[in-house]
Structure 1
Amino acid sequence: MSNNFFDAVLNPTWKTLSNEIKEVVMQNILRHFVNPILEVTKITPVSYQFGGLKIETFEILIDGVEFIFVPGQKKCILGWDSGLSGLSGLDCSEERQELRYALKRYCNQHLTSSFLTEESFLNQDFSHIRLTTEYIAEKINNSTSPLREVDIPALLVEKKPKFVGLKYIGQYNVISGQLSIPENQTDRMIEQIQDLLQPEVQDRHFLQDYPTVARKSPLLIQQNQLNPDVFDCYVDDAVSYSDLKRDLERNGMGLLKEDEWEYCCGGSCRRLFKWGNQLKRQLFHKNISPLWKENMFGLFIANAEFGPELINDEHYTKGGWLEETHKAPLINLLPLSSYYRGEGIEDQEKDLIPGYYCVRRVIRIDSNG
């Protein structure tokens, strides 16, 4: 591929191209960088606007799964070492109790998960700690990656991450009471799904809210973000970190590197969160909150209810489950920061806990690809 091509897939050049030239570039990307055994069935021009940024790009169906073209960029500034700089003092204090209780209510009502309630990964309580400005600043800096300047290649990125160690068995429709894949539908399976949706028989009523994610081994269900009457359903199918990476590489794909993940999340904006540095009162109102929306690239990334996302670095994960551990809402929301570093994988050969981690596939568009 020529140098002109690799310039064209980077911003700011990409933004200056006509729609016709962009389509030609996209066709060349699919021809030269996507494994020919994978079926490309749809290429759709799309535009997204989020956090004051707008991008025109393409959504591609690869083997029936949505991928987004993310233009690359040189000299991106990533990471965070600014502590409380640029943040609201009110958000960093214990005064935002309406957000604290909204998070607690959200976790109780919408996240019903055995690995959140029975395992020792979460459920840490630091509410007794006195939240001085020094403590909060240090907590933010220690929880995020260091400030740095990097070059990011153009990428084809899976739009939405998938839970690791689970096998998809179909969509359950709460109206029809049926699974979309008939061969996986048994009376026992339907009963298990319905028990997760409405666990307390005596409290069932017509207007009861469904959990958005529910888990009881070996089953996990997640409400479809485009249709709340549909739940994506999975059963346990454990896999190790090493085996997962090998499976992806067989099809010419891989995991995002930490730099790439942060760029895909926040677009190299100097903001702690992809939407900005402010915590608005409506943060847990699903219809208007950025916690559930596509970002400036059209990706569902650092969203609520996906858990830690695996990257091409066993020492860290990105994103994470939300929990109410501190009195200051900002600290509780740090897993959704563009620069947050979660705990890594201790043993690459050991099976990962089904349904706890997420994975997102990527294809790099660079001269080494």
Structure 2
Amino acid sequence: MTALNRQAWSELSSTEKEAVMQDLASKLPQGFQFQGLQTFQRYGVTNETGIFTYKEAEFVFVPGNQVTLGWESWDQGMDEATREDLLETLGEYDIEDADQYLRDQMSPVREAAIGAMLVERAARSAGWQQVPLQDLPLLDEPEIEEELTKFRASTYSKYEQYQHFRLVRQEEDIRLFLFNEDLTWEQAVADVHNEGFSLLTEEEWEYIYGGGCRTLFPWGDSFDYKMKVKHFEELVEEDDSREYDLSLPNAFGLLFDGDPYQYEWTIREGELMPKGGDGGSLICGGSGLVVGYLPVAAYFRDSYFEELDWEEIMGHLWYRRIVRL
């Protein structure tokens, strides 16, 4: 359908867009419901799109497009502060050619035809599964029950025991997550497909994350030092209670974690290609803000992820279900 193309979609009136979404809803798998149109604006791009629900999850309509993806040269160029930060860090590792270093970290420039799709707004954990607190007595986990009692009396927002359980406070509620140590790559993929969904390809993820931008980051070639980002909270005022900037909805209305310690799951040539992070390797290595946050660049590829086992990745791996239209 031509209207599902990004250019044609942008030229429709709100009334016409709603009619297209209503028609689409009638053809979707059972359980999908159209909730209405919503407008999102980020990094100078505005997009009005359709919001759908499926059970308790939200999905966003993303129009298709013919786009150029990947990075090899500057569109705008870094500002002085960003380049100084970059060169200072690279100098500590005796890396002289900064531009070549960046090219080596990014996916190659290529053309891609991206089809229209419904994309889950928020990614979900591959390795952690939420369990209702009322089911806790059935699990025979006295250690978790003991820690839950302590957690209730504390002011902590989160408590975790590595690859065992996680407690998260969300306003007045406490949520329990258990680590699924028996989950395999094959079973995880099968579970998504058996639900009637697909996983994003690397090209699809780069498009929904960067929108086809030709800059290093979705917002430009320079780092915005006014942003509030995770792991560098000392750069903002102590009483800065605003949300992390990279966790806000993008122009498609999609939510990304914006945390280099986390990965998003995509598929490249039939294999896992994690995007959006490097497991925190660069930050842990003592790099500065710019290099530490290179993994959130639009086209970053972690060149070392193949050295990790599935069991090491899945605790930091997130995925979002899609329906290709």
The TM-score bracket by the shorter chain reads 0.7 to 0.9
CA change 1:11–1:355 in 2 (3 A) is same
Matched, 1:167 2:133: no
* Cα distance between partner residues in 2 of 1:96 and 1:290: 25
Give the direction of change, closer, same or farther, for the CA distance of 1:143–1:43 in structure 2 (3 Å limit).
Answer: same
Q: 1:20 aligns with which of 11, 15, 18?
A: 15
What secondary structure is seen at the aligned counterpart in 2 of 1:311?
A: strand
What is the Cα deviation at residue 351 of structure 1?
A: 5.3
Q: Which residue of 1 aligns with 2:52?
A: 60
How many Å separate the matches in 2 of 1:86 and 1:232? 44
C-alpha deviations, 1:319-340, integer Å up to 9, x for none?
Answer: 1144242544221111111111
Task: Confirm or deny: 8 A CA contact 1:9 1:154 kept in the other structure.
Answer: yes
Deviations 1:214-264 (A, max 9, x none): 55331134565xx5x656531012422222222211222111111110110
Question: Cα gap change, 1:50/1:306 in structure 2, threshold over 3 Å: closer, same or farther?
Answer: farther
Equivalent runs, 1:170-185 vs 2, <5 Å: 170=132, 181-184=133-136
- What residue number does 1:151 align with? 113
Write the letter of the residue equivalent to 1:66.
E
State the shift of 1:127 in Å: 8.5
- Cα offset, 1:164, TM superposition: 0.9
Of 305, 312, 319, the residue aligned with 2:276 is 319
Decide whether aligned partners of structure 1 residues 142 and 347 sit closer, same or farther in structure 2, where only a CA change above 3 A counts. closer
Q: Which runs of 5+ in 2 are unaligned?
A: 229-235
What's the counterpart of residue 340 of structure 1? Answer: 300
Task: For residue 355 of structure 1, give the secondary structure of its aligned residue in structure 2.
Answer: helix
Within the alignment, does 1:308 sit opposite 2:268 as a pair?
A: no
Q: Secondary structure at the match of 1:138?
A: helix
Amino acid aligned to 2:135 = E
Deviation at 1:182, TM superposition (A): 2.3
Q: Which amino acid aligns with 2:245?
A: P
Query: Aligned pair in 2 of structure 1 residues 254, 326: CA closer, same or farther (>3 Å)?
Result: same
Deviations 1:183-231 (A, max 9, x none): 3368743543576799xxxxx8x6xx746x855331134565xx5x656
Partners in 1 of 2:291 and 2:316 — Cα distance? 21
Single out whichever of 325-334 and 55-64 deviates more from structure 2: 325-334
Is 1:364 aligned to 2:324, yes or no? yes
Give the deviation of 1:274 after TM superposition: 1.7
Q: Alpha-carbon deviation of 1:344?
A: 5.0
* CA distance 1:253–1:218, change in 2 (3 Å): same
Residues 38, 48 of structure 2: 8 Å contact kept: yes
CA distance in 2, matches of 1:79, 1:328: 24
The one-letter code of the counterpart of 1:21 is: E
The 1-side partners of 2:78 and 2:174 are apart by 37
State the secondary structure of the residue aligned to 1:255. coil
- Secondary structure in structure 1 of the residue aligned to 2:23: helix
SS at match of 1:22: helix
Asked if 1:88 is matched to 2:79, the reply is yes
Do the aligned partners of 2:38 and 2:49 also contact (CA within 8 Å) in 1?
Answer: yes
Residues 1:194 and 1:88: Cα distance change in structure 2 (over 3 Å): farther
Q: 1:40 to 1:233 in 2, by over 3 A?
A: same
Q: CA shift at 1:353, angstroms?
A: 4.7
Over residues 335-363 of structure 1, what are the superposed CA-to-partner deviations in whole Å (9 max), with x where a residue is unaligned?
11111112556799x65654221111111
Contact 1:219–1:235 under 8 Å retained in 2: yes
Post-superposition offset of 1:265? 0.4
> Residues 94 and 277 from structure 1, CA distance in 2 versus in 1: closer, same or farther, beyond 3 angstroms?
closer
| Cα 1:194/1:340, change in 2 over 3 Å | farther
CA distance in 2 between partners of 1:354 and 1:305 (Å): 15
Distance 2:169 2:99 in 1: 35
Give the TM-score of the pair, scaled to structure 1: 0.71
> SS at 1:54's partner residue?
strand
For the pair 1:355 / 2:310, whether they are aligned, the reply is no
Q: In the superposition, relative to structure 1, how do residues 324 and 352 fare at CA in structure 2: closer, same or farther (>3 Å)?
A: closer
Secondary structure (helix, strand or coil) at the match of 2:58 reads: strand
Aligned length: 304
Structure 1 CA distance, aligned partners of 2:253 and 2:261?
16
What TM-score results when the alignment is normalised by the length of structure 2? 0.80
Runs of at least 5 residues in structure 1 that lack an aligned partner in the other structure: 1-5, 101-125, 171-180, 199-203
Partners of 1:156 and 1:55 in 2: how far apart?
A: 15
Task: Name the one with the larger helix percent.
Answer: 2
Pairing 1:72-221 to 2, within 5 Å after superposition: 72-74=64-66, 76-82=67-73, 86-94=77-85, 128-132=92-96, 134=97, 136-170=98-132, 181-184=133-136, 188-189=143-144, 191-193=146-148, 210=157, 214-221=160-167
Counterpart residue type for residue 86 of structure 1: G
Identity of aligned residues (%): 24
* Matching residue of 2:218: 274
